[in-house]
Chain A
Amino acid sequence: MSANCPECDGSLQLNGVIAGEIVVCPDCGVDLEVTAVTPSLALALAPTEAEDWGE
């Protein structure tokens, strides 16, 4: 199964994943949640901690 990263549009080839699983985009390193595997693979950004050096 393949899908594009919602962050960088990179192509991910994923096999054997299940809904709710967290995968990592090989291009931009973002954590992605597998939100569906049927009828097609769907990915969404998983929450990530932001960097803040502004204090």
Chain B
Amino acid sequence: MSLRASIIGASGYTGGELLRLLLFHPNVEIAQATSESHAGEYVYQQHPNLRKRTQLQFVSQAALQPCDVLFLALPHGESQKNLDRYLGLAPRLIDLSADFRLRDPALYQRWYGEAHRSPDRLAQFVYGLPEVQRAAMRQARLISGVGCNATASILALLPLVKAGLLRGDQPIIVDVKTGSSEGGASANPGSHHPEKSHSVRAYAPTGHRHTAEVIQELGLSNVHLSMTAVDVVRGVLAAAHAFVQPGTTDKELWRAYRAAYNTEPFVRIVKDRAGIHRVPDPKILAGSNFADVGFDLDPESGRVVSLAAIDNLMKGAAGSAVQAMNLMCGLEETAGLEFPGLHPL
């Protein structure tokens, strides 16, 4: 089976990763890739890693033809403005933006500070994180992409939630370190090299929008994210600080993490007592769809530090989107996503 897939907004970083993944996907042919600002250019002129791998040229959205699967890799707010038109182009759609991640319009209003333009459509989308929504994703026609920081936070906390180990009377604090590619391909004063280089910048100590996805997908109310940008290009490391029921042991935590992830194709438990790779580190995940998850328990206080590392552009965006396409279209879930990352890097 060969699906014809098109990408709207393909000149950005997530669009580039979608192109890289889909070019080598065994079941997909890329039909079109759009960019309004680069229409007519070869895609390798924006994504130099794809030189000599494709002669595809960007087209304008006005030139889009019907296809089997449509990916939207647009800036926030664009998908919800034009969704009806996009739905006329393909029977299956995956939106990588934040526009359709939240099911409740009130939650969207609270975290995004404005009313949603297509509130009736919100409930039609399935949140595209297979570790939480796999069954629904297999039946879906509309899937929302995931927030990268939300993905790392959810994967860090999911085993504890599933096993019922969290204390309900304690808040959960997730300290998230992020790479600069989260900011997208457009420059801003904060991304200027003399300002950004070597900085450790707490850019959203409270109030980050991805918090809403964690609340929605895990059913938690007392969870709080703090975001810090660090001096790497790719990668997210979420360190979730949570308190577990008194008497919880390390082995119980191991069982909970195994129960959550032993059958997951892209989640690995990393908690080694030996060697130099004892805890998750996003560095070795660059370009890969894997998420590495680990934990440590302070038995005296009952504090668990649960760690999850991902590549924000992969498991946190384009990789998850391709995984979502695989599930939605009945393909092998891991197709096109087997790259394990590089070491050393």
Chain A positions within 8 Å of B, measured between CB atoms, are 7-10, 24, 27-31, 45, 48-49, 51
Chain B positions within 8 Å of A, measured between CB atoms, are 250-251, 254-255, 258, 269, 271-276, 278
Q: Is the CB of A9 within 8 A of B255?
A: yes
Q: Is the CB of B271 within 8 A of A51?
A: no
Q: Compute how far the CA of A45 lies from the CA of B273 in the bound complex, rounded to whole angstroms.
A: 10
Max count, chain A CB within 10 A of own CB: residue among B250, B258, B271, B273: B273
Q: Is the CB of B254 within 8 A of A30?
A: no
CB contacts (< 8 Å) of A8 on chain B: these are 250-251, 254, 271
Q: Is the CB of B274 within 8 A of A29?
A: yes
Name the contact of A27 in the complex, choosing from B269, B274, B275 (C-beta under 8 A).
B269
CB contacts (< 8 Å) of A51 on chain B: these are 276, 278
* For the complex of A and B, 8 pairs with smallest distance between CB atoms: A29-B272, A30-B273, A9-B251, A8-B254, A48-B274, A9-B254, A29-B274, A48-B273
CB contacts (< 8 Å) of A29 on chain B: these are 272-275, 278
Closest to A8 in B: B254
Closest to B271 in A: A28
Q: Is the CB of A30 within 8 A of B255?
A: no
Closest to B276 in A: A51
CB contacts (< 8 Å) of B255 on chain A: these are 9
A-B CB contact pairs (8 Å), 22 listed: A8-B250, A8-B254, A8-B271, A9-B251, A9-B255, A10-B258, A27-B269, A28-B254, A28-B271, A28-B272, A28-B273, A29-B272, A29-B273, A29-B275, A30-B272, A30-B274, A31-B274, A45-B273, A48-B273, A48-B274, A49-B274, A51-B276
Q: Is the CB of A10 within 8 A of B254?
A: yes
Closest to A50 in B: B273
Max count, chain B CB within 10 A of own CB: residue among A27, A45, A48, A49: A27
A9, chain B: closest CB distance, angstroms: 4
Q: Compute how far the CA of A16 lies from the CA of B254 in the bound complex, rounded to whole angstroms.
A: 27
